[in-house]
Amino acid sequence: MYPTERQFEFWLKRREGKKNVEIAQEYNITKQAVGKALQTADKKILKSLIEMARANRIEIRHIDEEKGFLSGRSTQLNRNAVIFFSKRHGMQVWYEHTGDCSTCGQVKKCTEILTELAGELGITIRITNPSKDAETIFEVVP
């Protein structure tokens, strides 16, 4: 259950650091309307994060629906995991691991996703090896 497009827009703006009153002014609506939309978005995002954790057998350690993050541990893989919402890529699940990305056909896609996620979170990272560089994101997420 994802937020509506408008709720998601408000949610992204808040994650970027905008206050409800600023979002309200931008859309020419009341601050209360923004607050209500954000509460609904948070509930939907929370539910989606929990459902994704259950589907991937991830024991939940921390959830921040306002930032769109869930951290935990995969019981199946015995690895730390992060589930997050990305503006462009929707919901993503990342497992902490050390791999040889130079031999993987997905390195370009992983680099793109990590770069965009870092940008959305205001983190500066230069991706050279996605599995290694993702550690920066694991350090930021509780």
pLDDT tens, position by position, 43-53: 999 999 999 99
Q: What is the pLDDT of residue 11?
A: 94
Above 70 in pLDDT, residue 36? yes
Contact indicator for 62, 46 with CB cutoff of 8 Å: no
Above 90 in pLDDT, residue 19? yes
Percent of residues, the chain, with pLDDT higher than 70: 96
Contact indicator for 69, 141 with CB cutoff of 8 Å: yes
Above 80 in pLDDT, residue 3? yes
Above 80 in pLDDT, residue 99? no
Q: What is the pLDDT of residue 70?
A: 92
pLDDT band per the 50, 70, 90 thresholds, residue 74: very high
Percent of residues, the chain, with pLDDT higher than 90: 45
CA dist list (Å): 111 to 66, 116, 138:
24, 8, 15
Q: Looking at residue 29, what DSSP letter applies?
A: S
Above 90 in pLDDT, residue 104? no
